[in-house]
């Protein structure tokens, strides 16, 4: 059995919970849009073609912000193709994912869908094949009230009121050789600076995200961020981070410890941002938008020199990277959410990629059902329960040796305290494959008075760690009551099953 002690002190906190941390991502890739969120003719589609069964699951998942329309797709996208009468919209080829884009779904449709889903929009602009003029035109189209060319075109296209989009991404992964319009750090830094200036001249209230490294493994990581921010620090509000992880060659222990790498990645980007701030004598703070992250099994990609050329024939919305997630993946996703939350003083936005079908918490079938994947559950519970202040925990845990990360704590945790409601939310993973974990909570300044809820995601009694939520068995893996919670005169002990992720909420009083 593993053992851990988690010390929680009311007076040691990190930041308020950034509500934008619980974001998702919708890209024109595979079946995320078409037959995912949008499928006219489906039995559950509304008059606008939105799948209401998917919308119900999105509302249950609880994302606060959704990034759109890409991703690699955006680096070759003409936003004008997705506005106006659908019958007049051009059909284009999308070189990023080697597909046919009908443009039946565009900006107006996404804005309507976002209102139904009750999410904020995070709009990405094309800085691969386009530039300053197209970006400022899109801001005018979306946010200017009227009386100008682009704002009046929006009104003629059916949206009298501005969309008032506040979050904008200045391109996507332009450090990557696979990206349409790949640039050096100096080329991108200057373009981002000038584009940001032009966009904020149209609407000074918007917030802008500069492109960071596509992964920590990029050969330009660190120097890319430093160079880009040296150019654009005063014009941008965030720098982006992207990271995907998977189990390699049966090395489960390293995979379960991958949040250690995410922690180090974030710490490295924070250090680079602050070095540029100090060297440039800047007074304002740039934060992080971790706007792509997830577990992604990348074995379906073709080759190292063309990593995104995954289809040979030009087709509309083919199946691309539709990973089926198991219990191990869900526990890992839970620890990634822990990492993001415990860095909530600097990571202010995060987007799990992607929302439906494409490495997604939600899956759907064309003409058929929609269902939750295993990774749905940690996100849904944290999005709902993480409120108030993020507490700075001290965790002392039994460790497991790993190939990639050294010795890693078996128990990983994060907690929030909402003084107004008097609730303490604890999110905790037992990464051990070998047995239960006994966890003692040492509370300072707070006294647990009752257990409000306690749920765990773990291996089903008749399953194994590879058990997944599949069509036809949507409830194969889900949350169940966590029985191992002992509360005795304010003292708390948890018994966590092997390979599990838990969400426990307490009523607490000051002490």
Catalytic residues: 173, 292
Q: Could you tell me which residues come within 8 angstroms of residue 22 by beta carbon, excluding any fewer than 6 positions away?
A: 62, 63, 64, 65, 350, 379, 382, 383, 386
Instruction: Please answer whether residues 256 and 308 qualify as being in contact, where contact means their C-beta atoms are separated by less than 8 angstroms.
Output: no
CA distances from 401 to 78, 98, 265, 431 (A): 49, 42, 20, 12
Distance of CA 279 to the CA centre of its chain: 31
Angle of the 149-156 helix axis to the 132-143 helix axis, nearest 10: 50
Give the full edge-to-edge strand order of the sheet including 491-496. Answer: 394-397, 2-9, 437-444, 491-496, 485-488
Nearest to 188 by CA among 224, 220, 214: 224
What residue has token string 């209401």?
52
CA distance 395 to 393: 6
SS3 328: helix
398 closest CA partner among 2, 48, 111: 2
Whether the upstream peptide bond of residue 406 has omega within 30° of 0, thus cis, is: no
Residue 449: partners with Cβ closer than 8 Å, 6 or more residues away: 490, 506, 507, 508, 509
């Amino acid at each position: 059995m593993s053992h851990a002690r988690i010390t929680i002190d009311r007076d040691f906190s990190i930041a308020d919970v950034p509500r934008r941390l619980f974001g998702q991502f919708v890209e024109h890739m595979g079946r995320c849009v078409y037959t995912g969120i949008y499928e006219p003719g489906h039995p559950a589609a509304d008059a606008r073609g939105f799948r209401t069964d998917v919308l119900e699951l999105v509302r249950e998942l609880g994302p606060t912000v959704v990034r759109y329309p890409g991703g690699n797709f955006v680096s070759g996208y003409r936003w004008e193709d997705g506005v106006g009468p659908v019958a007049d919209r051009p059909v284009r080829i999308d070189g990023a994912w080697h597909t046919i884009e009908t443009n039946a779904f565009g900006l107006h449709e996404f804005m309507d869908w976002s209102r139904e889903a009750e999410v904020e929009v995070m709009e990405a602009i094309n800085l691969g094949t386009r530039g300053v003029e197209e970006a400022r035109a899109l801001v005018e189209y979306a946010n200017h009230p009227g009386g100008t060319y682009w704002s009046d075109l929006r009104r003629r296209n059916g949206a009298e009121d501005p969309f008032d989009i506040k979050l904008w991404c200045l391109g996507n992964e332009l450090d990557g050789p696979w990206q349409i319009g790949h640039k050096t750090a100096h080329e991108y830094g200057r373009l981002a600076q000038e584009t940001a200036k032009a966009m904020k001249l149209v609407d000074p209230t918007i917030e802008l995200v500069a492109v960071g490294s596509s992964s920590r493994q990029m050969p330009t990581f660190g120097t890319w961020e430093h160079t880009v921010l040296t150019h654009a620090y005063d014009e941008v509000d965030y720098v982006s981070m992207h990271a995907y992880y998977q189990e390699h060659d049966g090395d489960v222990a390293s995979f379960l410890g991958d949040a250690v790498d995410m922690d180090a990645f974030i710490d490295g980007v924070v250090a680079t941002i602050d070095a540029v701030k100090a060297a440039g004598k800047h007074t304002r703070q740039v934060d992080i938008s971790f706007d792509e992250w997830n577990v992604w099994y990348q074995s379906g990609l073709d080759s190292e020199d063309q990593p995104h050329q995954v289809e040979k024939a030009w087709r509309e919305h083919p199946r691309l990277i539709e990973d089926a997630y198991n219990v191990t993946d869900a526990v890992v996703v839970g620890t990634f959410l822990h990492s993001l939350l415990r860095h909530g003083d600097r990571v202010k936005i995060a987007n799990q990629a992607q929302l439906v079908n494409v490495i997604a918490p939600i899956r759907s079938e064309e003409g058929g059902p929609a269902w939750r994947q295993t990774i749905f559950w940690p996100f849904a519970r944290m999005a709902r329960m993480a409120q108030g202040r993020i507490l700075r925990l001290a965790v002392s845990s039994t460790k497991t040796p790993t190939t990639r990360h050294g010795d890693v704590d078996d128990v990983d945790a994060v907690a929030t305290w909402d003084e107004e409601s008097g609730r303490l939310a604890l999110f905790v993973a037992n990464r051990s494959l070998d047995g239960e974990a006994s966890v003692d909570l040492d509370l300072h300044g707070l006294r647990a008075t009752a257990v409000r809820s306690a749920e765990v995601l773990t291996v089903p009694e008749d399953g194994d760690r590879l058990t997944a939520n599949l069509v036809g068995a949507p409830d194969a893996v889900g949350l169940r009551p966590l029985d191992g919670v002992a509360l005795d005169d304010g003292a708390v002990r948890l018994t966590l099953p092997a390979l599990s992720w838990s969400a426990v909420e307490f009523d607490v009083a000051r002490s």
